[in-house]
């Protein structure tokens, strides 16, 4: 029951963030079409010599926002379909890349940029796709909440002793951190990360000397 509640909360927070952004896209399209109406009304009262140019500018804005909206809804649709199967074979890199793309607004709101280091690795795992994305999300949130100062988080997929590993590194060269491991483990997200990692058969470790988390597949 608790796992399904956590899943629902995770799906809810991602969906709320994306639909909020879609509202912004629609708001821009609505205002821009309203501005086109304004121009056409003005043109009836007095000929606007640059009417075509003004309308073309509006059309470009609407097109740009339509593309943005399509990308958002496609991403959300893909994300929603990851819950179709309780167990599935997933590509680690592609799944993380899509997840951070769809959740980026949530991270940006907190002043963080999250990126994944390009990888051609085709590491495939059979897992619960939603729980896998949840643990990725929780690791990012854990570093954001623990270290707080606006920075970048990079995710790197590596092989350690022939096992797939995911490294999350909080990158802020201006700051020096002490007791990183303790700080991460005191964050509320850490208990959830440990719980989920056990469920998924992953080991989770906080780095002692730098702000970061390692997920290692068994």
Partner 1 sequence: MNNQNIKILLIDDEIEFISTLAERLELRGYSSKTAEDGESGISMVAKESFDVVILDLMMPGLNGLDALRQIKILDAALPVILLTGHGSTKDGMEGMRIGAFDFLMKPLDINDLLEKIKLAVNESPKG
Q: Footprint of partner 1 on this chain (CB under 8 A)?
A: 16, 19-21, 23-24, 26-32, 34-35, 38, 42, 61, 64-65, 108-111, 150
Residue ranges with strand state E in the chain: 88-91, 113-116, 124-127, 152-160, 163-171, 202-206, 212-217
In this complex, which beta carbon is closest to partner 1, that of residue 121 or of residue 150?
Answer: 150
In this complex, which beta carbon is closest to partner 1, that of residue 25 or of residue 180?
Answer: 25
How far is 202 from 205, CA to CA, in rounded Å?
A: 10
Q: How far is the CB of 19 from partner 1 (least distance, A)?
A: 8
Q: How far is the CB of 24 from partner 1 (least distance, A)?
A: 5
In this complex, which beta carbon is closest to partner 1, that of residue 32 or of residue 158?
Answer: 32
Angle between helices 92-102 and 129-147 (to 10 degrees): 60
Q: How far is the CB of 189 from partner 1 (least distance, A)?
A: 21
Q: How far is the CB of 132 from partner 1 (least distance, A)?
A: 27
């Amino acid at each position: 029951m608790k796992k399904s509640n956590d899943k629902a909360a995770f799906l809810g927070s991602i969906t709320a963030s994306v639909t909020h952004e879609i509202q912004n896209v629609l708001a821009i399209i609505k205002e821009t079409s309203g501005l086109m109406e304004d121009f056409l009304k003005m043109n009836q009262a007095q000929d606007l010599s640059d009417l075509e140019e003004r309308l073309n500018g509006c059309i470009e804005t609407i097109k740009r926002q339509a593309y943005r909206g399509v990308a958002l809804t496609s991403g959300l649709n893909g994300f929603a379909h990851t819950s179709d199967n309780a167990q599935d074979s997933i590509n680690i890199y592609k799944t993380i890349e899509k997840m951070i793309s769809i959740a980026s607004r949530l991270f940006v709101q907190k002043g963080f940029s999250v990126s994944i280091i390009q990888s051609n690795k085709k590491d495939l795992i059979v897992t619960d796709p939603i729980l896998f994305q949840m643990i990725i999300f929780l690791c990012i949130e854990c570093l954001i909440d623990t270290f707080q100062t606006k920075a970048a988080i990079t995710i790197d997929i590596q092989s350690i002793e022939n096992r797939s590993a995911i490294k999350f590194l909080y990158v802020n060269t201006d700051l020096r951190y002490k007791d990183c491991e303790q700080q991460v483990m005191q964050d509320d997200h850490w208990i959830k990360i440990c719980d989920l990692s056990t469920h998924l058969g992953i080991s989770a470790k906080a780095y002692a000397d730098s702000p970061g988390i390692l997920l290692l597949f068994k």
